[in-house]
Structure 1
Amino acid sequence: MDTPDLLDTVVLLSDLPTEKLRKGSLGAIVEVFGNGSFLVEFADLNGVTYALPVLAATQLIKVYQEPIEA
């Protein structure tokens, strides 16, 4: 698995009811911490942040928008 980097788009792999997030929510890495965790911003279509949790790499999957280079 590719480790997410700063500003990568990620998808949440499970529900987080305390954060009002559900599996499949799209977010962006806004901070990378040395302990393998990430600050992830979840925003609506108007760009308004509605959640900003610290998550482990195991809770996320990186989203790719371009094919693998040959």
Structure 2
Amino acid sequence: MNASINLLDVVALTVNLPEYNLSQGQVGTVVEILASGKAFEVEFSDRQGRTYESVGLRSHQLMVLHFEPASPRMVAV
């Protein structure tokens, strides 16, 4: 699903992984690039930053999430 996945990218699952108790849409962080960029180790953490699962996944199982800050609003003075 995504041709360019990099180390430390924030990604979302595009599939359910019931064997790991992970659901489509869950968010994780790429912590290692495997198999010459054909697979990725993704960590899933709780709100306190504790990892509860670390899984090797293929790119078609992931979607990179992007954040673009909003442009500053013009304020009339």
Q: Normalising by the residue count of structure 2, what TM-score does the alignment of the two structures yield?
A: 0.81
Give the Å deviation of 1:2: 4.1
After superposition, the C-alpha distances for 1:9-68 in whole angstroms (9 at most, x for unaligned) are: 00000110011100000000000011500000000001011110000000000000016x
Report the equivalent of 1:53.
Answer: 55
Where does structure 1 lack aligned partners over 5 or more consecutive residues?
A: none
Residue 49 of structure 2 aligns to a residue whose secondary structure is coil
Moved over 6 A (4+): none
Report the equivalent of 2:15.
Answer: 14
Percent same amino acid among aligned pairs? 37
Bigger-Rg structure (1/2): 2
Q: Normalising by the residue count of structure 1, what TM-score does the alignment of the two structures yield?
A: 0.89
Where does structure 2 lack aligned partners over 5 or more consecutive residues?
A: 70-77
CA distance in 2, matches of 1:35, 1:26: 20
